[in-house]
Amino acid sequence: MSGAYLYELPGTTPYGEALTIQQDLAGARSQQAIPDVVMLVEHDPVISLGSRAVPAEELLLAAVEYASRGIDLVEVSRGGRSTYHGPGQQVCYPILDLHERGKDLHRYVHNLEEVIIRTLAGQGLEGRRVDEHDFSGVWVEDRKIASIGVRCARWITTHGFALNVDFDLGVYDTFDACGLGGAPFTSVARELGRPVALDEVRPDLIAAFEQVFDVTFDPLPVAA
Protein backbone atom coordinates (compact mmCIF):
# COMPACT_ATOMS: atom_id res chain seq x y z
CA MET A 1 0.00 0.00 0.00
CA SER A 2 1.35 3.42 -0.98
CA GLY A 3 0.72 6.90 0.32
CA ALA A 4 -1.18 9.55 -1.68
CA TYR A 5 -2.54 13.02 -1.14
CA LEU A 6 -6.26 13.84 -1.07
CA TYR A 7 -7.16 17.37 -2.15
CA GLU A 8 -10.78 18.30 -1.40
CA LEU A 9 -11.59 21.72 -2.83
CA PRO A 10 -14.24 23.60 -0.85
CA GLY A 11 -17.40 25.00 -2.42
CA THR A 12 -17.65 25.16 -6.20
CA THR A 13 -14.61 25.71 -8.41
CA PRO A 14 -14.55 27.17 -11.95
CA TYR A 15 -13.46 24.57 -14.47
CA GLY A 16 -10.46 26.54 -15.69
CA GLU A 17 -9.14 27.00 -12.16
CA ALA A 18 -9.36 23.27 -11.46
CA LEU A 19 -7.63 22.53 -14.77
CA THR A 20 -4.72 24.79 -13.85
CA ILE A 21 -4.38 23.05 -10.49
CA GLN A 22 -4.36 19.66 -12.21
CA GLN A 23 -1.65 20.75 -14.62
CA ASP A 24 0.51 22.08 -11.80
CA LEU A 25 0.09 18.88 -9.80
CA ALA A 26 0.78 16.72 -12.87
CA GLY A 27 4.01 18.62 -13.48
CA ALA A 28 5.08 18.10 -9.88
CA ARG A 29 4.14 14.41 -10.06
CA SER A 30 6.13 13.89 -13.24
CA GLN A 31 9.18 15.31 -11.46
CA GLN A 32 8.57 12.97 -8.51
CA ALA A 33 8.21 16.04 -6.30
CA ILE A 34 4.94 14.75 -4.84
CA PRO A 35 3.20 11.37 -4.57
CA ASP A 36 -0.05 10.56 -6.35
CA VAL A 37 -2.86 13.06 -5.72
CA VAL A 38 -6.63 12.74 -5.99
CA MET A 39 -8.66 15.94 -6.34
CA LEU A 40 -12.32 16.00 -5.34
CA VAL A 41 -14.15 19.03 -6.69
CA GLU A 42 -17.61 20.41 -7.38
CA HIS A 43 -17.73 22.64 -10.45
CA ASP A 44 -19.65 25.69 -11.53
CA PRO A 45 -21.93 24.72 -14.48
CA VAL A 46 -19.91 23.79 -17.56
CA ILE A 47 -20.06 21.51 -20.59
CA SER A 48 -16.59 20.23 -21.44
CA LEU A 49 -15.83 18.97 -24.93
CA GLY A 50 -13.21 16.25 -25.11
CA SER A 51 -10.93 15.36 -28.00
CA ARG A 52 -13.59 13.19 -29.67
CA ALA A 53 -16.52 15.60 -29.26
CA VAL A 54 -18.44 16.75 -32.34
CA PRO A 55 -19.89 20.08 -31.22
CA ALA A 56 -22.11 20.48 -34.29
CA GLU A 57 -23.82 17.21 -33.40
CA GLU A 58 -23.69 17.24 -29.61
CA LEU A 59 -24.48 20.86 -28.73
CA LEU A 60 -28.20 21.30 -29.31
CA LEU A 61 -28.28 25.02 -28.43
CA ALA A 62 -26.32 28.04 -29.62
CA ALA A 63 -23.40 29.16 -27.46
CA VAL A 64 -25.30 32.30 -26.44
CA GLU A 65 -28.17 30.14 -25.15
CA TYR A 66 -25.82 28.11 -22.95
CA ALA A 67 -24.37 31.36 -21.65
CA SER A 68 -27.86 32.63 -20.85
CA ARG A 69 -28.40 29.50 -18.74
CA GLY A 70 -25.14 30.12 -16.87
CA ILE A 71 -23.36 27.18 -18.52
CA ASP A 72 -19.83 27.67 -19.85
CA LEU A 73 -18.51 25.73 -22.86
CA VAL A 74 -14.87 24.63 -22.81
CA GLU A 75 -12.73 22.48 -25.10
CA VAL A 76 -10.29 20.24 -23.23
CA SER A 77 -7.55 17.76 -24.07
CA ARG A 78 -9.02 14.74 -22.29
CA GLY A 79 -10.41 11.78 -24.17
CA GLY A 80 -14.12 11.26 -24.65
CA ARG A 81 -16.85 13.52 -25.91
CA SER A 82 -19.17 16.03 -24.21
CA THR A 83 -19.81 16.00 -20.46
CA TYR A 84 -21.65 18.24 -18.04
CA HIS A 85 -20.23 19.33 -14.68
CA GLY A 86 -22.09 21.37 -12.10
CA PRO A 87 -23.12 21.78 -8.48
CA GLY A 88 -24.48 18.55 -7.04
CA GLN A 89 -22.06 16.40 -9.03
CA GLN A 90 -18.95 14.81 -7.51
CA VAL A 91 -15.96 15.16 -9.79
CA CYS A 92 -12.78 13.19 -9.15
CA TYR A 93 -9.44 14.03 -10.78
CA PRO A 94 -6.68 11.51 -10.04
CA ILE A 95 -3.13 12.64 -10.79
CA LEU A 96 -1.39 9.27 -10.80
CA ASP A 97 1.92 7.97 -12.13
CA LEU A 98 1.03 4.89 -14.16
CA HIS A 99 4.70 3.93 -14.43
CA GLU A 100 4.10 2.46 -10.99
CA ARG A 101 0.81 0.84 -12.03
CA GLY A 102 1.76 -1.22 -15.05
CA LYS A 103 1.38 1.50 -17.71
CA ASP A 104 -2.03 0.05 -18.58
CA LEU A 105 -4.59 2.72 -19.47
CA HIS A 106 -7.40 0.22 -20.06
CA ARG A 107 -6.88 -1.20 -16.59
CA TYR A 108 -6.81 2.31 -15.15
CA VAL A 109 -10.21 3.19 -16.64
CA HIS A 110 -11.58 -0.18 -15.47
CA ASN A 111 -10.38 0.65 -11.95
CA LEU A 112 -12.05 4.07 -12.05
CA GLU A 113 -15.30 2.32 -12.96
CA GLU A 114 -14.77 -0.04 -10.03
CA VAL A 115 -14.36 2.93 -7.67
CA ILE A 116 -17.69 4.31 -8.87
CA ILE A 117 -19.44 0.94 -8.59
CA ARG A 118 -18.24 0.50 -5.00
CA THR A 119 -19.23 4.08 -4.17
CA LEU A 120 -22.74 3.40 -5.43
CA ALA A 121 -22.89 0.15 -3.47
CA GLY A 122 -22.27 2.20 -0.34
CA GLN A 123 -25.49 4.06 -1.19
CA GLY A 124 -27.40 0.84 -1.80
CA LEU A 125 -27.28 1.13 -5.60
CA GLU A 126 -26.04 -1.43 -8.12
CA GLY A 127 -23.82 0.16 -10.74
CA ARG A 128 -22.64 -1.67 -13.83
CA ARG A 129 -20.33 -1.34 -16.79
CA VAL A 130 -21.48 -1.53 -20.39
CA ASP A 131 -18.86 -3.50 -22.30
CA GLU A 132 -19.20 -1.77 -25.63
CA HIS A 133 -16.98 0.68 -27.51
CA ASP A 134 -17.51 4.30 -26.40
CA PHE A 135 -19.49 3.19 -23.35
CA SER A 136 -16.98 3.84 -20.57
CA GLY A 137 -18.58 5.00 -17.36
CA VAL A 138 -21.10 3.46 -14.99
CA TRP A 139 -24.81 2.83 -15.39
CA VAL A 140 -27.74 1.92 -13.14
CA GLU A 141 -29.81 -0.41 -15.28
CA ASP A 142 -30.12 1.54 -18.59
CA ARG A 143 -29.42 4.97 -17.06
CA LYS A 144 -25.97 6.52 -17.03
CA ILE A 145 -24.94 7.86 -13.63
CA ALA A 146 -21.20 8.52 -14.05
CA SER A 147 -18.99 9.59 -16.95
CA ILE A 148 -15.27 9.04 -17.44
CA GLY A 149 -12.85 11.07 -19.54
CA VAL A 150 -9.11 10.86 -18.91
CA ARG A 151 -5.85 12.20 -20.23
CA CYS A 152 -2.53 10.42 -19.83
CA ALA A 153 0.69 12.23 -20.81
CA ARG A 154 4.01 10.46 -20.17
CA TRP A 155 1.98 8.08 -18.00
CA ILE A 156 0.78 10.84 -15.66
CA THR A 157 -3.02 10.97 -15.53
CA THR A 158 -5.30 13.99 -15.35
CA HIS A 159 -9.07 14.53 -15.66
CA GLY A 160 -11.09 11.56 -14.38
CA PHE A 161 -14.76 10.93 -13.64
CA ALA A 162 -17.98 12.68 -12.67
CA LEU A 163 -20.66 11.04 -10.53
CA ASN A 164 -24.15 12.53 -10.64
CA VAL A 165 -25.26 12.95 -7.04
CA ASP A 166 -28.12 15.47 -6.87
CA PHE A 167 -28.92 18.13 -9.47
CA ASP A 168 -31.48 19.01 -12.14
CA LEU A 169 -31.08 16.34 -14.81
CA GLY A 170 -32.91 18.59 -17.27
CA VAL A 171 -29.51 19.89 -18.37
CA TYR A 172 -29.15 16.68 -20.40
CA ASP A 173 -31.99 17.87 -22.62
CA THR A 174 -29.75 20.67 -23.89
CA PHE A 175 -26.96 18.55 -25.38
CA ASP A 176 -26.18 15.00 -26.48
CA ALA A 177 -24.07 14.00 -23.48
CA CYS A 178 -21.19 11.66 -24.32
CA GLY A 179 -22.54 11.44 -27.87
CA LEU A 180 -24.92 8.68 -26.78
CA GLY A 181 -27.86 9.79 -28.89
CA GLY A 182 -30.02 10.96 -25.99
CA ALA A 183 -29.49 7.99 -23.67
CA PRO A 184 -31.12 8.58 -20.26
CA PHE A 185 -29.04 9.92 -17.39
CA THR A 186 -29.74 9.59 -13.69
CA SER A 187 -28.35 10.56 -10.29
CA VAL A 188 -27.97 9.05 -6.84
CA ALA A 189 -30.83 11.26 -5.63
CA ARG A 190 -33.11 10.21 -8.50
CA GLU A 191 -32.45 6.55 -7.85
CA LEU A 192 -32.96 6.85 -4.07
CA GLY A 193 -35.94 9.15 -4.37
CA ARG A 194 -34.63 11.70 -1.88
CA PRO A 195 -32.14 14.60 -1.65
CA VAL A 196 -28.52 13.50 -1.31
CA ALA A 197 -25.63 15.75 -0.27
CA LEU A 198 -22.13 15.26 -1.65
CA ASP A 199 -20.93 14.84 1.93
CA GLU A 200 -22.98 11.62 2.11
CA VAL A 201 -21.22 10.16 -0.91
CA ARG A 202 -17.63 11.36 -0.51
CA PRO A 203 -16.66 9.00 2.34
CA ASP A 204 -17.73 6.00 0.26
CA LEU A 205 -15.81 7.32 -2.74
CA ILE A 206 -12.65 7.93 -0.72
CA ALA A 207 -12.79 4.47 0.85
CA ALA A 208 -13.44 2.85 -2.54
CA PHE A 209 -10.50 4.66 -4.14
CA GLU A 210 -8.17 3.56 -1.35
CA GLN A 211 -9.31 -0.06 -1.76
CA VAL A 212 -9.18 -0.25 -5.54
CA PHE A 213 -5.88 1.60 -6.00
CA ASP A 214 -4.28 0.28 -2.80
CA VAL A 215 -3.42 3.69 -1.35
CA THR A 216 -3.84 5.50 1.94
CA PHE A 217 -4.71 9.18 1.82
CA ASP A 218 -3.25 12.14 3.68
CA PRO A 219 -4.52 15.70 3.11
CA LEU A 220 -2.57 17.60 0.47
CA PRO A 221 -0.33 20.14 2.22
CA VAL A 222 -1.47 23.57 1.02
CA ALA A 223 0.48 26.73 1.81
CA ALA A 224 -1.47 29.27 3.83
Q: What is the pLDDT of residues 162-195, one digit of tens each?
A: 999 999 999 998 888 877 777 899 999 999 999 9
Residue 7 lies inside a defined structural domain of this protein: yes
Closest listed residue to residue 96, CA positions, set 82, 114, 80, 112: 112
Residue 223 lies inside a defined structural domain of this protein: no
Residue 79 lies inside a defined structural domain of this protein: yes
Residue 75 lies inside a defined structural domain of this protein: yes
Residue 40 lies inside a defined structural domain of this protein: yes
If pLDDT is split at 50, 70 and 90, which confidence band does 224 have? very low
Beta-bridge partners for 108:
none
Residue 64 lies inside a defined structural domain of this protein: yes
Please give the residue range of the domain that contains residue 84. Answer: 2-215
55-84 pLDDT per residue, tens:
877 888 888 999 999 999 888 878 778 889
What residue type is 183 in one-letter code?
Answer: A
Any idea what the CATH number is for the domain that residue 77 is in? 3.30.930.10
Query: What does DSSP say about strands 2-13 and 156-164: parallel, antiparallel, or unpaired?
Result: unpaired
In contact, 169 and 181? CB cutoff 8 Å: no
Catalytic residue ranges: 178
Q: Measure the CA dihedral 128/130/131/136, to 10°.
A: -100
User: Is the dihedral angle over the CA atoms 75, 156, 179, 90 positive or is it negative?
Assistant: negative
Residue 221 lies inside a defined structural domain of this protein: no
Domain count, the chain: 1
